[in-house]
Amino acid sequence: MDEFPYLADRSPELPSAIQALYDRRGPRKGHPPFKLILCGSAISIMSSLLAGDQALRGRAVLDLRIGQFRFRDAATYWETDPHTAFLIDAVLGGAPGYRDIVGDPPEPGAEGLLHWLERSILNPSHVLFTEPDYLLEIPRPDRPAGHQRSGDGAGPRRVGTLA
């Protein structure tokens, strides 16, 4: 299940339902083995799935965290020179999934990077323009209610109070 945090946000009972299925049909019950892969980009939520008293605690076989690209790997992936790949990495943080969203890499040089930024992540109509809000889980009054997510930490939640 990709983007599991979004599914669980809409159906908070989902982790408990998976727990019940596992407890009834899991490997110790004599049933054929099954694998369920839960994926998600909301790291804070994915990290908490297996913690403490959570429904899925003790039921995971593997907790695989896929790291970001190093900028030299990004040069190969983006099919560009190392300097431009370094700039892309500085902006996107080495997340390979963003390539499908932003398209081709920028033309080499500072001017090419500026044009690339203008037409992609710095464009208010581009999907990545609000990506920092989703990654940091900052509630915004202009976002529809279905897109609001509550944080699971006790720290500040307003832009003005973040350090």
> HEC string of 133-151?
HHHHCCCCCCCCHHHCCCC
Same domain, 59 and 77: no
pLDDT of residue 39 exceeding 70, the answer is yes
61 part of a folded domain: yes
- Strands (E) in the chain, as ranges, are none
Same domain, 89 and 60: no
Q: Read off the pLDDT of each residue in 147-151 and give the average, rounded to a whole number.
A: 45
57 part of a folded domain: yes
59 part of a folded domain: yes
Q: What is the pTM of this model?
A: 0.50
Predicted pLDDT at 52:
85
* Better pLDDT: 111 or 131: 111
Same domain, 122 and 94: yes
Containing structural domain, residue 49: 1-66
Domain count for the chain: 2
Same domain, 103 and 123: yes
Predicted pLDDT at 141:
56
Q: How far is 91 from 124, CA to CA, in rounded Å? A: 16
Of the residues 41, 66, 91, the one at which a domain ends: 66
Same domain, 50 and 75: no
pLDDT of residue 144 exceeding 70, the answer is no
pLDDT of residue 145 exceeding 80, the answer is no
Kindly state the tokens that stand for 94. Answer: 């080495």
pLDDT of residue 115 exceeding 90, the answer is yes
Predicted pLDDT at 34:
76
Predicted pLDDT at 35:
81
pLDDT of residue 121 exceeding 60, the answer is yes
Q: Read off the pLDDT of each residue in 96-125 and give the average, rounded to a whole number.
A: 88
151 part of a folded domain: no
Same domain, 58 and 6: yes
DSSP 121: T
Of the residues 16, 42, 66, the one at which a domain ends: 66
pLDDT of residue 75 exceeding 70, the answer is yes
Kindly state the tokens that stand for 86. Answer: 């370094």
